[in-house]
Amino acid sequence: MLFLPTLLACHDRDYKPVSLKAPASPVAAQPGTPPPVFIGMAPIISAQASAQGMALLAQALSQPLGLRVKPFFGASYQEINDMVLFGQLDAAIVCTGAFSDPAFARSTRVLLVPQIPPGTSYYHALIVVARSSTFHRFNDLEGASIAFTDPLSLTGCLYPLARVRSSGRNPHLFFGRVHFTHSHDRSLAMVAGGLIQSASVDSAVFREWTGHHPQEAEALRILDRSPDFPAPPIVVPASLSPARAEELRRSFLGLPASEKGRRALALMGWTGFAEPDATYLKHLAEVGLMMEAAHAP
């Protein structure tokens, strides 16, 4: 957290233009049928890796809600953020970095916080390199190539830039080639495959990925670890009716009670959910305020 006040935003050329038009609904409802509930997810992990978990999550939520639940996987963090703001999603799993946008923070409400092993509401960024590399300190990465996840990713982009800035260096000149992979698991695979020299990734994704790819994980080494950050929350638009928000909250909390729900949680890398207590919300607001100040001219 100490590095965030000195954070510089990613260079403008890293951002795709964002349309001010409301995105189209992911799936149009059939006439005469209740509209489905749309649950979105930022590409924290790739669509290939998360598809089964999101599909099972939707199925497990459909029964208690008594409605079809349609999962939607965003192509970018910004797409999911925009769809929440435009009311195109009933709920979404977003990156903690989304709260650096004051409009997003004002227009959404944290519904629940997924618990990540060993059952915590916090995670951190990991700077990962090849085990055989000669890099042993963060400053050794000067001139090295690095994989970032998304320009809005706290652990996958903003933390390493802040880390550079905290040492008085220009983060846009520090690294060599920068590649945006659009998911943490792709970043890890690139380092393990020798395609890039380093990556900044989500610690929860790292834990899950290494469990599923033990041989590739043997080729990796953790070079640097950030302070704790609030885990990515499940949010709902502030405009969502209190009744629907409560239905969603109860349905998520009830997932551990069913076999399908437990399988969905396991595939998503979650142990359950926690209510967003005052401490968590305070830390989330601090991240947003610090990043907002850092983005200011």
Domains belonging to the chain, first-starting first, are: 14-117+231-295 (3.40.190.10), 121-229 (3.40.190.10)
- Of 242, 234, 227, nearest to 80 by C-alpha is 234
Each residue of 80-134: pLDDT tens digit?
Answer: 999 999 999 999 999 888 877 778 888 999 999 999 988 888 999 999 999 999 9
pLDDT at 14 over 50: no
Q: How far apart are CA 253 and CA 72, in angstroms?
A: 20
Q: What is the pTM of this model?
A: 0.79
Q: DSSP for 99-140?
A: GGSHHHHHHEEEEEEEEBTTTBSEE-EEEEEETTSS--SGGG
The mean predicted confidence, pLDDT, of the chain is: 84
Cβ-contact 3, 294 below 8 angstroms: no
Cβ-contact 24, 38 below 8 angstroms: no
**Per-residue confidence band for 281, with pLDDT thresholds at 50, 70 and 90:** confident
Q: How far apart are CA 245 and CA 249, in angstroms?
A: 6
Neighbours of 99 (CB within 10 A): 25
DSSP code, position 44: S
pLDDT at 207 over 80: yes
pLDDT value, residue 30: 56
- Average pLDDT of span 176-193: 94
Strands (E) across 15-90 are located at 37-41, 69-73
- Average pLDDT of span 6-26: 41
